[in-house]
Amino acid sequence: MKTLRVGLCGLGTVGQGVLELLQKNADLISLRCGRSIQLVRVASRTEKPQVDLGNAVFSTRIEDLLEDADIDVIVEAIGGSDTALSLMHAALKSNKHIITANKALIAEHGNILIPLALAANLYLGYEAAVAGGIPVIKALREGLAGNQIDRISGIINGTSNFILSAMSQSGDDFDTALQDAQKLGYAEADPGFDIDGVDAAHKLSILAALAFGMPLHFDSVYMEGISDVSVEDIQYARDLGYRIKHLGICSMDTKGLSLRVHPSLVPSGQMLANVEGVMNAVQIESDALGSSMYSGPGAGALPTASSIVADLIDLARGNTGDMYYNNEATMVGIEKIKTAYYLRIPAVNKPGVLAEVARELSSHGISIEAVTQRERNASQDVAVSWVPVIIITRQVMEDTMNKALASIQASDHVVGKIMRIRVEAGDTHKHNVG
């Protein structure tokens, strides 16, 4: 069979990983896909003479990739938005397949790009856009294609998971853990994209589209970051049998589709609760297989390259079919989500306050699963003596909880902001939409 000829755009971390894997495993890749895959041209803004390009021709012009008639597929590894988006459109117009790890472009522009590729009978591969080297998109497209998916929950941002893991293991506060992540290269100088949940929301919208046969709905994802999670919350959660993880969750119910990214308490005995550091994990609930989990490195040169090369192999084998559906469902907002809650209430240290909080919750139909009052060090005392009251509630609708918390927050006996974290207890997903 004819050699699949590849043009690589970008020679950063991901681009060099693709180059290394194609060179190192060339014979194995050829054996597995029945034809050779050859990198023929590389385009990058700056030259990197220390990088061995093999027989590939180097250029600083992206246009050279588009104008080279011998190139069958372009691997987009430059990241960002405008230039990468222009490249994708131009590649499709030039009758070239394209493979990318750019989750933001797929999440925000996939509703246009994917149908364009399908109409032109071209392949748009994006396995590397979600969870790095974990083949979770392939699992949804192929391995679980005969299953009805009910719910996906996952740790899909390594930066946030590293920070929460560091806070749990060392007792460092959020700012210290973030600085460590930046020193190690796990967090950007401006980390908002990761710690505020935007990156996870991009990935979640892609998973949801594949799982539920929907167009991409990035704009409908509820996002909450991790910067308000304190080391005390992590310690209290651990004492109660939970770990705090930053999860992306999508689920389909008779009421519709919900998409949300936020910190969550996960029972410590569950596998998802024990995924540490920069690792990613995606748990899928389906009717035939049941619960399955896919875990591994969510970023890095070779893990990401692994997924990109997997897309190249699919293309070389002729497996170019993509899934894109126009099915729609009602989007369920966060206010209609039904879940349990962890509450940390800074309350005046006097008799009757806990009973007052319990009465207020009860007046809104909210039952308490567990409650404890924590001691504080004397050095923390201020003008008003207060203690954190820790409560785990049973399941309740979000809008009901919001009303109850507004009443409790207004009490003279509450001396600071109430911390609220949702509890994802595994078997609650069957009833998670009210």
| 119, burial (CB in 10 Å: exposed 0-12, middle 13-18, buried 19+) | exposed
Structure tokens at 365: 């139909």
CA–CA dist 426, 267 (Å, integer): 8
> Rounded to the nearest 10 degrees, what angle do helices 174-183 and 158-170 cross at?
120
CB 120 within 8 A of CB 129: no
CB 319 within 8 A of CB 29: no
Residue 203 phi/psi, 5-degree rounding, is: -65, -40
Structure tokens at 298: 């969510």
| 338, burial (CB in 10 Å: exposed 0-12, middle 13-18, buried 19+) | middle
Among the listed residues 44, 83, 82, the one whose alpha carbon sits nearest the alpha carbon of residue 60: 44
CB 114 within 8 A of CB 91: no
CA–CA dist 153, 160 (Å, integer): 15
Q: What is the 3-state secondary structure (H, E, C) of 354-413?
A: HHHHHHHHHHCCCCEEEEEECCCCHHHCCCCCEEEEEEEECCEEHHHHHHHHHHHHCCCC
Please tell me which residue in 103, 203, 245, 336 is annotated as part of the active site: 203
CA–CA dist 202, 221 (Å, integer): 9
120 HSE (CA, 13 A, CB side): 19
CB 290 within 8 A of CB 427: no
CA–CA dist 270, 425 (Å, integer): 9
Strand order in the sheet with 57-59: 57-59, 37-43, 4-9, 73-76, 97-100, 124-125
350 is catalytic: no
Helix, strand and coil in the chain, % to nearest 5: 40, 25, 35
Active site residues: 203
